[in-house]
Amino acid sequence: MSFFQDKVVVITGGSDGIGKALIETLIPLGAKVATCGRNHDKIYKLQMEYSHVLLHAMACDVSNEQECRRFIESTLETFGGIDILINNAGISMRALFLDSDTEVTRRVMEINFLGAVYCTKYALPSILERKGVVVGVSSTAGYRGLPGRSAYSASKFALQGWLESLRTELLKTGVHVMWVCPGFTTSNIRHAALDSRGHAGGDSVLDEAKLMSAQECARHIVRAIEKRKRTLVLTFLGKVTVLINKLYPSLADRLTYNHYYNKKGEFVK
Ligand SMILES: NC(=O)c1ccc[n+]([C@@H]2O[C@H](COP(=O)([O-])OP(=O)(O)OC[C@H]3O[C@@H](n4cnc5c(N)ncnc54)[C@H](OP(=O)(O)O)[C@@H]3O)[C@@H](O)[C@H]2O)c1
């Protein structure tokens, strides 16, 4: 029998990218899934794809604490409890700090960090009862600050530090706390990234076809949850970045600069 058979899994941000791929991986494994996103049409369309017995999809902005509370409470009413919470909803940004409104940093922190805090707050009593799992979807940017992504890096560092504290607080309870760091993965994230004024949009500077697929990323995450791994860092580039940054931080500064700036010293990515 699959590890996920009849487990209730909450995945925030399931209407696109990695979250959607997680739903498509977990439902065939027997899980009951609850998910959310801000866009009502996408959530409605997603709900139409699955019966209400398998999927509970609800519009919810994770940066709003009361909406998170309602989402988690309605999940508990629908499925009777929560075994696994995957804090996946997130946005990115692309702008140098000097040029950006501070609103960009606030918005990214509210979604990527506080969104996870709010959902975990309301789901944790049930996860404790079921000795379940809390997962944070972080990023290589949670280990290595990236230029032009200062708010995004800050949000992922915060997420990891907070989850590490939580893991320690829950060490003797049977609840497992972990984070996973996808590398560059095909999704909508670069198109939805905020610019210096906090507006979403813009073209991806990466060739999406060359990135890891969201489906492959989801398979790695699901396996890591089943094995109760502490952390998962995906892609060769992601693993090398984390390692070099740990062992040789000033070399990592230079390599990262060279990756994001051209020879004239212009920020290009
Ligand atoms: N793709 C990558 O290369 C990559 C790399 C490292 C880490 N990650 C992380 O992976 C996670 C998923 O990203 P993705 O690449 O799959 O991005 P995506 O394709 O843009 O999907 C993001 C999902 O989150 C939802 N979302 C965004 N803001 C939300 C909010 N305030 N409240 C509720 N839902 C919200 C989106 O729906 P709505 O817009 O409708 O709300 C969407 O369903 C993120 O945490 C991201 O930081 C991605």
Q: What residues have CB less than 8 Å from 232, skipping those under 6 apart?
A: 178, 179, 180, 181, 220, 221, 224
Please determine, for residue 204, whether its predicted confidence score (pLDDT) is greater than 80: no
pLDDT-based confidence at residue 190 (cuts at 50, 70, 90): very high
Task: Decide the pairing of beta strands 32-37 and 84-87.
Answer: unpaired
Residue 10 scores a pLDDT above 80: yes
Cα 192 to averaged position of ligand 1 atoms, centre (Å): 9
Quickly state the pLDDT bin for 207 (edges 50, 70, 90). confident
Nearest CA to ligand 1 atom 39: 38
In this structure, what token pair is assigned to residue 221?
A: 């995450």
Does residue 205 register a pLDDT over 90? no
Q: Which of the 8 DSSP states describes residue 226? A: H
Q: Residue 178: what pLDDT?
A: 98
Residues near 91 by beta carbon (within 8 Å), at least 6 away in sequence: 107, 108, 111, 112, 189, 192, 193, 194, 200
Q: Whose CA is nearest to atom 45 of ligand 1?
A: 90
The predicted-structure confidence for 140-179, as pLDDT tens digits, reads as follows: 999 999 999 999 999 999 999 999 999 999 999 999 999 9
* Per-residue model confidence as pLDDT tens digits over 19-35: 999 999 999 999 999 99
Average pLDDT over residues 29-56: 97
DSSP H/E element including 79: helix 65-79
Supply the DSSP string of 15-71, one letter for each residue.
SSHHHHHHHHHHGGGT-EEEEEES-HHHHHHHHHHS-TTTEEEEE--TTSHHHHHHH
Q: Residue 128's CB: how many other CB atoms inside 10 A? A: 14
pLDDT above 80 for 203: no
CB atoms within 10 A of CB 115: 29
pTM across the whole model: 0.98
188 lines ligand 1 (CB under 6 A): yes
What atom of ligand 1 comes closest to residue 87's alpha carbon? 45
152 is catalytic: yes
pLDDT at position 143 is 98
The encoded tokens of residue 243 equal 């390692």
pLDDT (0 to 100) of residue 202? 67
Question: Residue 239: CB partners within 8 Å, gap ≥ 6?
Answer: 233
Each residue's pLDDT tens digit, 225-243: 999 999 999 999 999 999 9
> In whole angstroms, how far apart are CA 51 and each of 1, 40, 57, 142?
22, 18, 10, 36
